[in-house]
Amino acid sequence: MKRISLSVFLQIVLFTSYAQFSVSPNKHFILRDGKPFTWLGDTGWELLQRLNRQEADYYLTRRAEQGFTVIQTVVLAEFDGLHIPNANGDLPLNSDDPTKPNEKYFEQVDYIIDKAASVGLTIALLPTWGDKVYKDGWGKGPEIFKPVNAKIYGKWIGDRYKNKKNIIWIMGGDRNPRAATNDVEIWRAMAAGVEEGVGGEDKALMSFHPQGVAEGASQWFHNDSWFDFNMFQTGHCTDQPVYNKILASYNRLPTKPVLDGEPIYENIPICFDEKDMGKSSAYDVRKATYNALFAGAFGHTYGCNDIWQMHTPAFDAVLGSNLFYKEAMELNGANQMKFVKRLLESRPFLDRVPNQSLIVENNLFAGERIQATHGKDYAFIYTAQGRAITVNMGKISGEKITASWYNPRNGVSKEAGNFDNKGQQKFSAPTAGYGQDWVLILDDESKHYAKP
């Protein structure tokens, strides 16, 4: 068995013993140990099935270096995950029975969760991919879950990982409950089992990963006590009006945090049509990211076509993947995600709200969108093509405002001057056109905020 250093061991102990997730008092954000938590996720769906320990170490370490904080992955995997063994040759269940988990398989899951903790990463853990509840024309299945065994499995896996405090639980797995079935009951039973297994004073923070629907997972579970935050999948077409969905969820009662858990992936055939539409770019990823966050999302999940499937020479490409996962980890979009995290964490986190009344050009479509958010004494305004922004001043504190432009492509700021905080003021970005997105930062001059 591979040995770990004392320092790494202590990091694991500290992270897994004390990190506790909760919803913020205003119900719009997530906290860890009572402090703001920046969810910057990556969809590593096949991590637990396809990568060996050395490969998993590389993936997790590099993602932590790139500023990611969350890895979304699944225990009973999508690609015939019940019958194709993991990298160690182990299947997850005995006889496809969720009440009979295979200890050897879960030792690998244990290792990866602990490795994630050692580099400061949280695992957003799906107990199963949705086709194990029903195929509905998707996936390999087989359909193994009913309400009774879903609760037993949920309780078992919750109990197994109740002391791993770097876990946020996600039900679902790219499948929506069907009408006139017991699908909802199955997911509720599994969630109840996880909660019972985790037990104690520490509530299991939980959501649901759906397919693309207008209301996200809230369509079925918004009023359930276990359902702590809403998750969307807005899919793999460019320039979707994600901001409308996020804002509607942000304003829904009872108030719960919201994020896009699967937006357009980098390097994926756009709308699954590479021949006519090509593949998505880092720019497509950035637009989806900033528009969602500034519309009220508490965090965001990045994705890449070559990484969700953990493409290596050992596996056939899916959806036209043309890169192996290690190479894909260095794509521009992935390396630019740390810039949005740096921006969000540079100003008071929990008082940030979406507010399109801050700007005159407040209803442009996604490809040219100008999206605004602000705190009490600062504002961030994203312009997707560097279009000029007319700001209705006076929405934040301060007699004088300091303005700067933040480049989402490289994280560099440019000063834009000082202005009276009244009337209207027009700001022109340093560059404009396709691919020339910018964030206008407005600060109460008296706060003397540093550049991100």
Do 296 and 333 lie in one domain? The reply is: yes
Judgement on whether residues 226 and 322 belong to the same structural domain of the protein: yes
- Examine the domain organization and report whether 359 and 244 are in the same domain: no
Percent of the chain with pLDDT over 90: 93
pLDDT of 15 over the 90 cut? no
Residue 310: give its domain's CATH number: 3.20.20.80
Identify whether residues 89 and 229 lie together within a single domain.
yes
Whether 74 is in a domain gets the answer yes
- As a whole number of angstroms, the distance between CA 187 and CA 106 comes to 21
Q: Is residue 240 part of a domain?
A: yes
Q: Same domain for 340 and 369?
A: no
Mean local confidence (pLDDT), 380-409: 98
Amino acid symbol at 67: G
Whether 1 shows a pLDDT value over 70: the answer reads no
Q: Domain check: are 326 and 358 in the same one? A: no
| Residue 55 Cα distances to 112, 267, 311, 419, angstroms | 10, 21, 12, 52
What does the alpha-carbon distance between residue 307 and residue 315 come to, in Å, rounded to a whole number? 12
Stretch 65-83: mean pLDDT? 97
Given a cut of 90, is residue 190 above it in pLDDT?
yes
Task: Give residue 200's pLDDT band: very low, low, confident or very high (50, 70, 90).
Answer: confident
- Whether residue 224 is contained in a domain is answered as yes
Please tell me the distance from the alpha carbon of residue 45 to that of residue 65, in angstroms, as a whole number. 19
Instruction: Say if 452 falls within a structural domain.
Output: no
> 123 and 71 in contact (C-beta within 8 Å)?
yes
Do residues 53 and 86 both lie within one domain? Answer: yes
Which among 303, 324, 344 is the end of a domain? 344
State the pLDDT at residue 14. 46
Q: Are residues 402 and 268 in the same domain?
A: no
Confirm whether 202 is domain-assigned: yes
High-pLDDT (> 70) share of the chain, %: 96
Give residue 19's pLDDT band: very low, low, confident or very high (50, 70, 90). Answer: low
Q: Is 1 domain-assigned?
A: no
Do the domain assignments include residue 72?
yes
Give yes or no: residues 310 and 367 share one domain: no
With a cut of 80, say whether residue 6 has pLDDT above it. Answer: no
DSSP strand pairing (93-94 vs 370-374)? unpaired
pLDDT at 136: 74
State how beta strands 378-383 and 370-374 pair: antiparallel
Q: Are residues 248 and 283 in the same domain?
A: yes
Does residue 376 share a domain with residue 328?
A: no
Domain assignment present for residue 65? The answer is yes
Q: How many domains does the chain have?
A: 2
User: Do 265 and 296 belong together in one domain?
Assistant: yes
Q: Which residues contact 102 (CB under 8 A, 6 or more apart)?
A: 90, 91, 92, 93, 94
**Which range (11-15, 59-63, 173-177) has the least confidence?**
11-15
* Close Cβ partners of 345 (under 8 Å, ≥ 6 residues apart): 36, 38
What integer is the mean pLDDT of 383-404?
98
Q: What's 405's domain CATH number? A: 2.60.40
pLDDT of residue 3: 53
pTM for the whole structure: 0.94
Mean pLDDT of the 378-384 span: 98
Of the residues 344, 379, 407, the one at which a domain ends: 344
Could you report the per-residue pLDDT of 131-149, keeping only the tens digit for each?
999 987 778 889 999 999 9
Q: Which domain holds residue 376?
A: 353-447
Final residue belonging to a domain, choices 289, 311, 344: 344
